[in-house]
Structures are given as structure tokens and as C-alpha cells.
Structure 1
Amino acid sequence: MTLPYPHEVVRTLEFIAALCNGRRAGELESAASLRRLCAEWGFPGASGASRADAAATWGRIPLIEAMWDAERDTAAAMANRVFRESDARPHLVRHDGLDWHLHGLFAGAPLADAIAVDTAMAFVDLVRADDTARCKRCGDDRCERMFFDRSRNRSRRFCSTTCQSRTNVAAFRSRTTAA
């Protein structure tokens, strides 16, 4: 399904979910793991990420997760806070085969700031469209993974078919045991 958002907005939100989920799962502990994830997702400016860059990025994750879980007005205020603190300067760029799109910071900005500003810029589009509810947590009580709901009617509830199946099997067993 095609969402009413530019490709880079959807890609950024899915990258942010992967970043936060990977960090929470203990898969992102080093600068090398951060560089690898950024390379997989095509996030620019991470090829030389140091331990200090990784530590700064990990320090931004609580704010990013809070923005993900926030109500619309709170997400807007948080995005504005990120813009102020990072001295964001949105500008149009074209690179790597991508057509014109917005970058919030100039090349060479600290990686943690670039990730936070890109997240905030993606949230601006969701706030403006009153669509922040697309940023969800898995409906399986045992899972807290984040995901961006691309479904037409915003009905996706689980981060994966594994969690969906686990929840459905548990509900089935509960019904048959009670009967």
C-alpha cells in the first residue's frame, strides 16, 4: 500500500524502530553494530561512528521512544525540542539516486543529532496529518517492539507474524481450557 508520506519518512520511521528494537534486544552494543545497522538502512554519516557517537546515540533513544509513544501534541513539542537542541537547519538535498528531500542538519553533524532530527522531521509529517497512531508497539504482552503500521486502515497490531501467532495460540488455549 502506498502511504501519503514521502519514501524517506516511512524509511526513517522503520529505521528508528529497528534502531530502538535492536538496542532494547541487546543487538546494538558497539559503534560497529551501529555502523552496520546504519549501513543496512542507508542512513548517511555513520561510516566513521565512534564509541562516543554510539554512546550519544544510545543516550537519545529514550527521547525517541518517548516521541514514538506520545500523543500528537506531546510528539509535536518533543520534535520542536529536538530541533532547538540540535540547532536543526532544514534544507533540500539530492543524493545517492534520491530526488529532492529534506535533511535537518548539514553533512558532518554528530550522528546522534542527525538520527534525532531525522526522527523529529518524520514525526512532523505524522503530526501534521494527525497520523501519529501509526507508530505502535506490538500487541503481544510479552513483546515491546516498535513498528510503523503501513496498513491502509491502521489495523496492524503485531510487530511480526510470530507475535501474532503466539497471541492467537494463547487465546485459543485459554478459551479451550475454560470450556
Structure 2
Amino acid sequence: MSLPHPRELARTLEFIAEVCNQRRVGTLGSATSLRAFCAEWRFPGASTITKADADATWAHVRTIETMWDADRDTAAVMANRVFRECDARPHLVRHDGLDWHLHGLPAGAPIADAIAVDAAMAFVDLVRVDDTARCKRCGDARCERMFFDLSRNRSRRFCSTTCQSRTNVAAFRARAGQL
């Protein structure tokens, strides 16, 4: 059974994918860059990010990437582990013009834990509706970017039109060379 994904869930998964993608390519390597990135995405607590917070976030990124690539059952086990390790305490909140939604940790919790718990809560939603297959890697062999597939039939294969075009051009050239 697949249900439409609320905007908050999609935004969380897009944020999580971008954190991992930007970290992998080296544009998120410091507390300053993580602070700016989180502020751009309006992630709570962004203004107080320290070097220790950034280092803890990078440690969580490895777990999040593994969860992204995992099958449904493994993602469920990993989400539960994140909840235990971060002492998650889900509660409903309303803020910044957003209606009621879940936060996994109280305000002021370490940002690294907040990012990891948000990722785990998003995965829990996908596990519950058996839709973890929407968490994908780009189909371009030269790109490993993560993306959340919001297409109706889960058919998106590339992170961007650039990667799609590059793959199509390479396939065309390969076919033309065989003629």
C-alpha cells in the first residue's frame, strides 16, 4: 500500500539526501558550512552549530546513507537503533507557521542527533507504508547522489536532468559507434 507523502516527509528526505550528497562531495566539511546549509533549509538549531556538532553529524551521515540504501527490514532495525542511541522522545509541535508535526527530540538537543532522528522518523513512515524504494541513488554510473523519488509510479532514475542527459548521450554514442 502506498500513500501520498506529506510535504514535511518529502522535505525531510530531500534535506537528508542533500546533507549526505553535500558531505560526500566535500561542500559540507565544516561547522560553518553545516550551519549555513541547515539555516538555508530552516533546520532548527542551525545558528548554534559547533565543530563538535559537525563532527557528530558526519558520524551520523554514514548511518543515514546505509539506511537510505537498505532494504525495508534493515531500515526498520536501523531506525530503531538511532532512536535508542539518540534517546528519541517524539512529540507533536507547531512552529514557524507549520501545523502540528512530530519532532523526535526536544528543542536544544544536539543537532547531529536531531538530524539522525529526523531521518529515522522519515524512514519509519516509509517502512510503515512499504515505500522505502523511493529512496534512490542516481542511475548515472558516474554519480552517486541520493534523491527521493516523488514520481507517481516510482520511475525516476536520475537525480537531475543533467545526469539523465549525460547517460542518454553516452548510450546514443555507444549505439552510433556500433553501426
Q: Which residue of 2 aligns with 1:128?
A: 128
Q: Which residue of 1 aligns with 2:163?
A: 163
Instruction: Indicate yes or no: 2:175 matched with 1:175.
Output: yes
- Return structure 1 stretches of 4+ with deviation > 3 angstroms: none
Alignment length, in residue pairs? 177
- What's the CA shift for 1:100? 0.2
Amino acid in the other structure paired with 1:72: R
* 1:49-84 Cα distance to aligned partner (Å, 9 max, x none): 000000000111110000000000000000000001
Mapped to 2, the partners of 1:129 and 1:40 lie a distance apart of 30
Measured on the aligned residues, the alpha-carbon RMSD in Å equals: 0.8
| Percent of paired sites with the same residue | 78
- Secondary structure in 1 matching 2:47: coil
- What's the CA shift for 1:99? 0.3
TM-score, with length taken from structure 2: 0.97
Amino acid in the other structure paired with 1:96: D
Mapped to 1, the partners of 2:4 and 2:37 lie a distance apart of 26
Mapped to 1, the partners of 2:5 and 2:47 lie a distance apart of 27
Mapped to 1, the partners of 2:119 and 2:170 lie a distance apart of 35
Q: Which residue of 2 aligns with 1:9?
A: 9
1:5 and 1:125 in contact (8 A); partners too? no
Q: Which residue of 2 aligns with 1:59?
A: 59
Q: Which residue of 2 aligns with 1:18?
A: 18
- What's the CA shift for 1:45? 1.1
* 1:151-176 Cα distance to aligned partner (Å, 9 max, x none): 00000000000000000000000001
Residues 79-158 of structure 1: pairs in structure 2 closer than 5 A:
79-158=79-158
- Secondary structure in 2 matching 1:39: helix
Amino acid in the other structure paired with 2:97: G
TM-score, with length taken from structure 1: 0.97
Amino acid in the other structure paired with 2:101: H
* 1:64-117 Cα distance to aligned partner (Å, 9 max, x none): 000000000000000000001011000000000000000000001111100000
